[in-house]
Structure 1
Amino acid sequence: MSAPGIRFKHFPSGLADGAVLLVVLVIALFARFHAITVPVIWYDEAYSILLAEGSPAYIWATTARDVHPPLYYVLLHYWMLLFGHGVLSARSLSALADVGTLVLCIKLMSLVTTRRATWTAALLLAWLPISVRYSQEVRMYTLLGFWLMGATVALVCWLRAMDQKRFPILYVLLMTAAFYTHYFAALCVLVHWLFWWRVRKVQGTVSARAWILANSAIVVLYLPWAPPLISQLLRMDGLEWIPPLTWPTVLTFVWQLVVMGDSTSYSSLWRVLPTVLIVVCATAVLFKARPFSVLLVGYFFVPVLTVFLVSLIVPVFNARYLVFAAAALPLIVALALEALSQRHAALAAIAMVFVVWVEAHGLAEVYAQTDEMNGTSIRRDAKLDAVVAGLGREVRPGDEIIVDNLYWYLPFTYYNATGIQPRLYVVKSPIGTLWGTAEYGGWALIPHHLLWILFNDFSTLKLNAKRVWWVTGYVRPEHDALFPEHWKQVLTLKEGDSEARLFILEGAPTVEVGAQKHPMRQPFR
């Protein structure tokens, strides 16, 4: 029985709704799987795959030294056991998780608004550019969105049917899964507390005791991860790459999520306009003064504003961390269009066409790999897969391979099918230690018994081979001065920004001694 004051509707049913659902799912699947294998696997994705190849115990121990919880990597581990380690297989977990989020959003909208608003939101979310972009990456961001949207639906169902025990249980389990996937799940807790307070204030639904008990259960289930969490918070490593927050970043954030593309081609006014429009839509939705309006508007604005405030102290503002919150944008727009259509149907239709056109533009940027998200230029320009394939055709037994940077070493290891254990050239930190001694990030994937692969000084490098491949993701002219005089370059394989140079070592032993060989990606297991 619905609590008074909230418009809860049953999930759309019937032949027409089934047909619309099918169309929306086809659009969503096509948008997410189209060209999904085109971008090259880059550092972050290679880290995910290579880590997930280890056992769950290994994943737990390794992520404890990193900056993220372990659940995504554990699920990816079993996913790849079932479907393989290929690019399509690895990325499909993110794509299907995002389609699952779409289905949950349809369910959520069907509970709180009209059928027309529900399907409008579904269509807009089906090809929301930021969702499509990160559904094509082997990272945890869309999985986080799936857990959090599922928890939100469970919460609304709990408020709708307080006597049903399965809903609070589902809420606890889904929120716990979200926390084990990414720490930004805490931002959704703020949204849910705000919504619960608003509904309780208006209707007195779900007692404070039951609510606190549910949240306490989440904390208890998360206690096993408390020691790594505390250690990571005290260390605060792995965030140094995030730039300080600026006002242009905040004001153009919605542009980044929807329009994307080369922001330098547009004036500041145009880039700020999407943010202004979503604020107008949110205001129109809140004007209705319904509790669910607070939920949908807060689902986007509370996380974004919270991260903005935190970033004034520690920079953490990054679009990919807020992919889960971006799912609320189509829901807010759909509700605003629904309200507008009641007075100005023609204007609402024009606005809908405009929003679809803007999203189509954003999708084109995603497929062209010009969306300006982190790693996009590398995924587009590196072409490391082609270089590694060419190297595989040219390599001979006994060759040595050296990769000049950890950033390229992990993707190279993913693509490497030669069976040769590559060496890794590293630079020294300001205090004189090798970067490879770090215990977090990609360095944590190199076990101590393989630290012999690291070197910094060519004079100490001992090679048994006559042929050495030097692999780099960016050509660095300064490296030419590093190579010893008896290294003579005889071949260059180049694709995009990646390059593999073959050197013959003059004066090396004439009998080729086989380089150390291991099964592909062995060092990360």
Structure 2
Amino acid sequence: MVGQDEAGGRAAHDMRRVTRWAGLVWLGPTLLTLIVTLAGIDRAQLWRDELATWSAATRPVGDLLRLAGTIDAATGPYYLLMHGWVAVFGDSTTALRLPSVLAMAGAAGLTALLGQRLLGARVGLLAGLLFAVLPGTSRYAQEARPYALATLLAVLATLLLVDALRRPAWSRWAGYAVAVAALGLTHLIALTLLAAHALAVLTTLRTGERRAWRWLVALLPAVLLAAPLVLLARGQRSRQLDWVDLARLSDLIALPSGVAQSGPVGGLVLGLAALGAARLGRRALLSGGCVLLPVLLVFAAGLVVPLWVPRYLVFTVPFGCLLAGAALASVPVAPALTLVALAGVLGLPDQAALRRTHEWPRSATVDYRGVARVIADHEQPGDTIVFSPRDSWLFPDVGTAYHLRGRRPRDVLVVRDQRQRADLWASECDRPAECLAGVRRVWLVVTGQRNNPVAAVPGAKGAALRDGFTVQQVWPRPGLTVALLTR
């Protein structure tokens, strides 16, 4: 009896140790993601979308609300969040990107936890580690935009749904409701994830219809909060997405490399995910649905309206990693970890490239910092500055302003700036020659590489510059050209 008691005690002790370590399955993926994504976080310059975030987040709250009525309504809640963050932590490149880094690290940890709940600790750990080393994880962790936060909330909402379905209680459904509402406020397109959640709920109807009703009730806050954003964003679509084309089959084929930010890594994850889904069978329903249903819904919508942008679907990547983790878990630990390491090695060239620039292709660098440095080194009191084109999505004025931080020469042609217009672009005077009267020196910043930047300025603005000024020096920079003009 004593021996049996001792054996039972050792077994219980071993079980407690296993349980304790299984509860830490999230720790490795979280720490690895932090290490990878913090490396070189400020090396790549803020790109155009991040400059829009900076422009919006540094405005007073009242101006932010006015901006949402003009453009970027769908991103308005994220801008409000960043407004508070910037007020506390500042607007350096690292500070602006840090919320996304923390969100991606949290997403990796939650991916491991979700995998543990659905498929076991080993699957969860491997899925979280695989997610951590993807170039796409670094790319969107190092971007001051809402995609990383949406990824975190997508995994969190799915994890809370699994808990609520297994152990129904209003407190768990309340947590799920909050997560889904936050997901909708962060990224409207991520609400397509609810199609997969609906599928998961439907599979439980045999054991109790009350769960379906509770799920529907839990969606009400998201509907009430997201509906106004949907209406505003719908009216802004022609302006917001005028650069997006209708979806084509080739876009769907290219999606894995787009969200993974690497062709070889995207192909590897897709192959592993397919193997994992085949191995899991019905157990792949939730994870597979969280990948396939949002992708198919957005693609179908993109065939009718210009909506298909691969980065809008980054929130599906953790669920693909769960399927891949199931395939990895079918082999011994050493080969599984070797495959995870292989994904990391294959992605190294893309990891290095995305830390040089966030533009695509990676050769299309836009050197706002270089332009600002030229102006700062040669500026004199009374200098003015002119930008062309003014309505460019490259935001040459915002990029220059960010790097000069209040030391920029007077924007001589502006009659209503971005805040006054409640827009991302400023308005210029109708008679440029009159606005330039009395100006002795002008810094001209134009998009693209220009040997004769003044000749690239169209209309009355170009005529006023050509008639009244002489080009003293030209400094070509990647993606931009800056010139000094004197009367």
Q: Structures share a fold, TM > 0.5?
A: yes
Aligned residue for 1:243?
Answer: 245
User: Following TM superposition, by how much is the alpha carbon of 1:498 offset from its aligned partner in structure 2, in angstroms?
Assistant: 2.6
Aligned residue for 1:390?
Answer: 374
SS in structure 1 at match of 2:385: strand
CA distance in 2, matches of 1:154, 1:26: 22
Aligned residue for 2:410?
Answer: 421
What do residues 347-399 of structure 1 show as CA deviations (whole Å, max 9, x unaligned)? x85465345323432243132239997x3457962221122023112111100
What do residues 97-147 of structure 1 show as CA deviations (whole Å, max 9, x unaligned)? 111111221221221222211211111011222121011111111111122
Structure 2 residue corresponding to 1:82, chosen from 88, 92, 96:
88
User: Following TM superposition, by how much is the alpha carbon of 1:40 offset from its aligned partner in structure 2, in angstroms?
Assistant: 1.2
Contact 2:418 2:426 (C-alpha < 8 Å) held by counterparts? no
Of 485-494 and 101-110, the range deviating more from structure 2: 485-494
Aligned residue for 2:234?
Answer: 233
CA distance in 2, matches of 1:302, 1:185: 11
* 2:348 aligned with 1:366: no
CA distance in 2, matches of 1:423, 1:378: 33
User: Following TM superposition, by how much is the alpha carbon of 1:303 offset from its aligned partner in structure 2, in angstroms?
Assistant: 0.8
Aligned residue for 2:127?
Answer: 121
* 2:391 aligned with 1:400: no
SS in structure 2 at match of 1:54: coil
SS in structure 2 at match of 1:180: helix
CA distance in 2, matches of 1:65, 1:48: 15
CA distance in 1, matches of 2:16, 2:320: 22
CA distance in 1, matches of 2:16, 2:316: 24
Letter in 2 for 1:258: A
Aligned residue for 1:516?
Answer: none
User: Following TM superposition, by how much is the alpha carbon of 1:232 offset from its aligned partner in structure 2, in angstroms?
Assistant: 2.9
Aligned residue for 1:64?
Answer: 69
Contact 1:285 1:332 (C-alpha < 8 Å) held by counterparts? no
Say if 1:215 and 1:400 are closer, same or farther in 2 by CA, change over 3 A.
same
User: Following TM superposition, by how much is the alpha carbon of 1:497 offset from its aligned partner in structure 2, in angstroms?
Assistant: 2.9
Say if 1:52 and 1:472 are closer, same or farther in 2 by CA, change over 3 A.
same
Aligned residue for 1:134?
Answer: 140
Say if 1:47 and 1:176 are closer, same or farther in 2 by CA, change over 3 A.
same
Aligned residue for 1:332?
Answer: 323
CA distance in 1, matches of 2:99, 2:355: 23
User: Following TM superposition, by how much is the alpha carbon of 1:186 offset from its aligned partner in structure 2, in angstroms?
Assistant: 2.0
SS in structure 2 at match of 1:66: coil
* 2:97 aligned with 1:109: no
Aligned residue for 2:5?
Answer: none
Aligned residue for 2:47?
Answer: 42
Structure 2 residue corresponding to 1:469, chosen from 434, 443, 446:
443
SS in structure 1 at match of 2:466: coil
CA distance in 2, matches of 1:495, 1:90: 24
Contact 1:252 1:271 (C-alpha < 8 Å) held by counterparts? no
Structure 2 residue corresponding to 1:495, chosen from 477, 480, 484:
477
CA distance in 2, matches of 1:314, 1:277: 30
CA distance in 2, matches of 1:138, 1:294: 33
User: Following TM superposition, by how much is the alpha carbon of 1:456 offset from its aligned partner in structure 2, in angstroms?
Assistant: 6.5
CA distance in 1, matches of 2:451, 2:396: 17
Letter in 2 for 1:467: R
What do residues 294-352 of structure 1 show as CA deviations (whole Å, max 9, x unaligned)? 111111111111111111111312111011111212111011232x33xxx4xx85465
* 2:474 aligned with 1:480: no
User: Following TM superposition, by how much is the alpha carbon of 1:255 offset from its aligned partner in structure 2, in angstroms?
Assistant: 2.4
SS in structure 1 at match of 2:213: helix
CA distance in 2, matches of 1:204, 1:314: 39
Letter in 2 for 1:179: G
SS in structure 2 at match of 1:123: helix
User: Following TM superposition, by how much is the alpha carbon of 1:450 offset from its aligned partner in structure 2, in angstroms?
Assistant: 12
Say if 1:367 and 1:12 are closer, same or farther in 2 by CA, change over 3 A.
farther
* 2:405 aligned with 1:409: no
| TM-score under structure 1 length normalisation | 0.78
Structure 1 residues 69-468: aligned runs within 5 Å: 69-163=75-169, 165-201=170-206, 203-204=207-208, 206-220=210-224, 222=225, 226-237=227-238, 238-258=240-260, 260=262, 274=268, 277=271, 280-281=274-275, 283-287=277-281, 289-290=282-283, 293-338=284-329, 340-341=330-331, 345=332, 350=335, 353-369=338-354, 375-377=359-361, 381-406=365-390, 407-417=395-405, 418-423=407-412, 445-447=419-421, 454-455=428-429, 458-468=432-442
Aligned length: 458
Say if 1:414 and 1:129 are closer, same or farther in 2 by CA, change over 3 A.
same
CA distance in 2, matches of 1:241, 1:11: 55
Aligned residue for 2:11?
Answer: none
User: Following TM superposition, by how much is the alpha carbon of 1:472 offset from its aligned partner in structure 2, in angstroms?
Assistant: 2.4
Letter in 1 for 2:53: S
Say if 1:463 and 1:45 are closer, same or farther in 2 by CA, change over 3 A.
farther
Contact 2:287 2:323 (C-alpha < 8 Å) held by counterparts? yes
User: Following TM superposition, by how much is the alpha carbon of 1:276 offset from its aligned partner in structure 2, in angstroms?
Assistant: 6.1
What do residues 399-449 of structure 1 show as CA deviations (whole Å, max 9, x unaligned)? 001121342122122122315332469xxxxxxxxxx99xxxxx8645389
Say if 1:13 and 1:411 are closer, same or farther in 2 by CA, change over 3 A.
farther
CA distance in 1, matches of 2:220, 2:214: 10
CA distance in 2, matches of 1:456, 1:15: 69
Percent identity for Structure 1 against Structure 2: 22
CA distance in 2, matches of 1:452, 1:63: 16
CA distance in 1, matches of 2:317, 2:413: 39
What do residues 7-49 of structure 1 show as CA deviations (whole Å, max 9, x unaligned)? xx9997535864x654433321121111111111122111111
Say if 1:390 and 1:272 are closer, same or farther in 2 by CA, change over 3 A.
closer
SS in structure 1 at match of 2:485: strand
Letter in 2 for 1:393: D
| TM-score under structure 2 length normalisation | 0.84
Contact 2:291 2:317 (C-alpha < 8 Å) held by counterparts? yes
Aligned residue for 1:33?
Answer: 38
Gaps of 5+ in 2: 1-14, 456-461
Say if 1:22 and 1:236 are closer, same or farther in 2 by CA, change over 3 A.
closer
Say if 1:279 and 1:101 are closer, same or farther in 2 by CA, change over 3 A.
closer
SS in structure 1 at match of 2:410: coil
What do residues 237-287 of structure 1 show as CA deviations (whole Å, max 9, x unaligned)? 2112113322222113212233616xxxxxxxx899558625632541452
User: Following TM superposition, by how much is the alpha carbon of 1:169 offset from its aligned partner in structure 2, in angstroms?
Assistant: 0.8
CA distance in 2, matches of 1:172, 1:497: 45
Structure 2 residue corresponding to 1:54, chosen from 36, 50, 59:
59
Letter in 1 for 2:411: P
Contact 2:70 2:236 (C-alpha < 8 Å) held by counterparts? no
Letter in 2 for 1:197: L
User: Following TM superposition, by how much is the alpha carbon of 1:451 offset from its aligned partner in structure 2, in angstroms?
Assistant: 9.3
Say if 1:114 and 1:103 are closer, same or farther in 2 by CA, change over 3 A.
same
CA distance in 2, matches of 1:330, 1:478: 50
CA distance in 2, matches of 1:294, 1:449: 43
